[in-house]
Amino acid sequence: MPSAPRMTRKVAAFVTWERVARVATVGRAGIPHVVPVCHILSGGRVYFGSGRRGRKVKNVRENPWATVSVDVYSDHWGTLRGVMIQGRARIIEPGPRFRQIRRRLYRKYLQYSADAALAESDSIIIEVTPTHVFSWGLD
């Protein structure tokens, strides 16, 4: 597979600072599943946590392709902004990398550790490596 496409600084900053992303996955049955997630961007890859038994985890295990969308809506359509990242997802099981990403998620989302803790006993991290990046309103 070719290397991940490079994001412009403006696109990377937008993905980094926005608070919510939506992740779309599709499992073997072909039924789309879209959910909001709390995410971080690191090294050009998107990371988010999940319960080990979640639908998105099952889908990623069956089909590694995922799409992450980060956007800001406005009734003034001239100010719409967003980024869509298509890529391959992989599961990061508990261990040193899991703990490193979890710390970064907890730093970005201060309530995360208390309100939706990512316990190594029942959580995983999903990493999405971009193959395509599209943006609008960020030029």
pLDDT tens, residue by residue, 45-93: 999 999 999 999 999 999 999 999 999 988 888 888 999 999 999 999 9
Count of structural domains within the chain: 1
pLDDT more than 70, % of the chain: 97
Strand order in the sheet with 32-37: 32-37, 21-26, 65-72, 81-92, 123-136, 45-51, 39-42
If you average pLDDT over every residue of the chain, what do you get?
93
Instruction: Phi first, then psi: give them for residue 49, nearest 5 degrees.
Output: -95, 165
Long-range contacts at 101-107 (CB < 8 A, ≥ 24 apart): 101/40, 101/42, 101/47, 101/49, 101/125, 101/127, 102/49, 104/40, 104/42, 104/47, 105/38, 105/40, 105/47, 105/48, 105/49
Q: How far apart are CA 39 and CA 105, in angstroms?
A: 7
- At residue 5, the pLDDT reads 75
pLDDT at 2 over 60: no
Residue 15's domain comprises 9-136
Q: Does residue 3 form part of some domain?
A: no
pLDDT at 135 over 70: yes
pLDDT at 123 over 80: yes
- At residue 77, the pLDDT reads 87
CATH number at residue 109: 2.30.110.10
